[in-house]
Amino acid sequence: MSLESLLKDTEVKMQKALEVVQREFNTLRTGRSSPALVEGVRVDYFGTPTPLKQLANISAPDPKMLVIQPWDANSIQEIEKALQKSDLGLTPIVEGKVIRVPIPPLSTERRDELAKIAHRKAEEGRVAVRNIRHAAKEGIEKLQKDKEITEDDKFKNLDSLQKLTDRTQKKVDEILAGKEAELKVV
């Protein structure tokens, strides 16, 4: 593997880790409705745990309501059960072929609990970024050991790798700060 492809691959992996953190944060419930909140809820669909987003159209017509329109009307009861079992604290209301999910306001305790979960997810993202950096660092050191790059190139690229890592960690912190601010809004 060349140095350029190693660094490009590292940058792509760090970006993907950042996207995972963002996706995880989107599933955390705040006082506002968002389809991302329930997209990952697993529904027992003919014996197979299936993500809700593959079974229905999910929309947020207003900040306090989600509307779920299943493509298969026979799956309504299973979707309702899955939403009730989820740890989101939501109570779905079945109205014919549509499921309405009111988003209740969060209690102070639930906000604190969600903030802790957000911190844990951010730390998982930071650990993933550090693991990616570690693998890239080993790759750079191997290239220098195999005499494919000079020692100066090794140190220059380790420095740029650290700067990339720091930038990515900073973005994780910014996403966390945004989510915390969102959780504090009553």
Is the pLDDT confidence value at 65 over 70? yes
Q: Domain 36-102 classified CATH 3.40.50.970? A: no
Query: Which tens digits make up the pLDDT trace of 97-116?
Result: 899 988 877 778 878 888 88
- pLDDT of 3 strictly over 90: no
pLDDT value of residue 30:
67
- Judged against a pLDDT cut of 80, whether residue 51 lies above it is answered with yes
Both tokens assigned to 158: 């380790």
Q: Which residue's structure tokens are 């009307």?
A: 73
Burial of 83 (0-12, 13-18, 19+ CB in 10 A): buried
- Asked if domains 3-26+107-184 and 36-102 share a fold, the reply is no
Distance, CA of 5 to CA of 179 (rounded, Å): 34
Cα 70 from chain centroid (whole Å): 24
Look-up: residue for tokens 């550090």? 130
Condensed to tens digits (0 to 9), the pLDDT of residues 67-86 reads 989 888 888 888 888 888 88
Q: Which two tokens stand for residue 76?
A: 């309504």
Average pLDDT over residues 43-52: 86
- Which carries the bigger pLDDT value, residue 128 or residue 110? 128
Task: Spell out the domain ranges in the chain.
Answer: 3-26+107-184, 36-102
| pTM of the predicted model as reported, rounded to 2 decimal places | 0.71
pLDDT, tens digit (0-9, with 9 covering 90-100), for 172-181 = 999 999 888 8
CATH architecture of 3-26+107-184: Orthogonal Bundle (1.10)
